[in-house]
Amino acid sequence: MIQALWKFEFLQNAFLAGILIGIIAPLLGVFIVVRRQALIADALSHITLAGIAASLLLGKYFTFWQGINPVYMGMGFSAAGSLFIEQLRKVYKHFEELAIPITLSGGIGLGVVFLSLADGFNSDLFNYLFGSVIAISRSDLSAVAVITVIVVIVVTLLYKELFFLSFDEEQANVSGVRAKWIHFIFILLVAFVIAVSMQIVGVLLVSALMTLPVAASIRIARGFKQTIVYSIIFGEVAVLGGLILAYYLDIAPGGTIVLLSALILLVVLLFKRMKQWKS
């Protein structure tokens, strides 16, 4: 494996992208989960698919467009979708959760129509739905790297505001935290992270990377910072372990990563139960 890793660029790309996504997906996931918005990642990943499909469609008609990485358009759609969700939440004040199914089904509908127009029902689509390690190019990797740097810097700088808003929005407002702006920035970050993580685990599984490590961490961590640290550790174990297992067993990496996250969650829950049982 180590030899193969030296030899094949696509493996290096996969591992490096995996390491970075293993940091940023759970990092943002912590804030999403504690705000009870775990499903937002699902909605945005489906919108991202629509963006990728739109990019493939444009590539069919304009040759120059084929040189542009479809992930960028995916990001654009995802960002627009995130703002759309915020608007829907305001419109349906008393049914906030409606924003998720509306966006999710709208996204997948749009994606399917674009794909059929672009003759995209082929192995590419399969890659986007379930992730493909082989498909990660150097350009994809640099997109992941740029997003990682941005996410880590922004979350570090706005950490106390994000934390306060997640815990108690009303009190944060009274204390002069600019909730609107910070929400806006945060949701954009989520949209970008989903767009870049999709390539490893795919549209259908991307939200797992944002929620499963956090779900495990939240059971055993003390305090918010520790929750973040554990979430990232679990995320990394799942991504790296999943990639290695997938390589040796020759199975789908996206699915393996998600199953490994679920296994970690299970172990943590059992550990917690045993600890409670002992005391």
Contacting residues toward other proteins, per CB under 8 A: 34, 36, 157-158, 160-161, 163-164, 166-168, 170-172, 174-177, 217-218, 221-227
CB of 264 to other proteins, least distance (A): 17
* Separation of alpha carbons 52 and 118, rounded Å: 11
245: which 2 tokens? 């297992």
Closest distance of CB 179 from other proteins, Å: 12
Q: Rounded distance, CA 271 to CA 268, Å?
A: 5
Q: How far is the CB of 100 from other proteins (least distance, A)?
A: 19
Q: How far does CA 205 lie from the centroid of its chain?
A: 9
Token pair, residue 18, equals 């995996």
Alpha carbons 201 and 128: distance in angstroms, whole number: 8
Shortest gap between Cβ of 235 and other proteins (angstroms)?
A: 16
Of the two residues 103 and 231, which places its CB atom closer to other proteins in the complex? 231
In contact, 23 and 155? CB cutoff 8 Å: no
Residue with tokens 């919108």: 47
Closest to other proteins by CB, 24 vs 214, is 214
Residue 161 Cβ, how far from other proteins at the closest point, in Å? 6
CB 136, min distance to other proteins, A: 33
Paired tokens of 241: 């372990």
Dihedral sign computed on CA atoms, order 65, 70, 71, 73: positive
Structure tokens at 24: 């940023």
- DSSP-derived secondary structure for 187-229: HHHHHHHHHHHHHHH-TTTHHHHHHHHHHHHHHH-SSHHHHHH
Identify residue 48 by its one-letter amino acid code. T
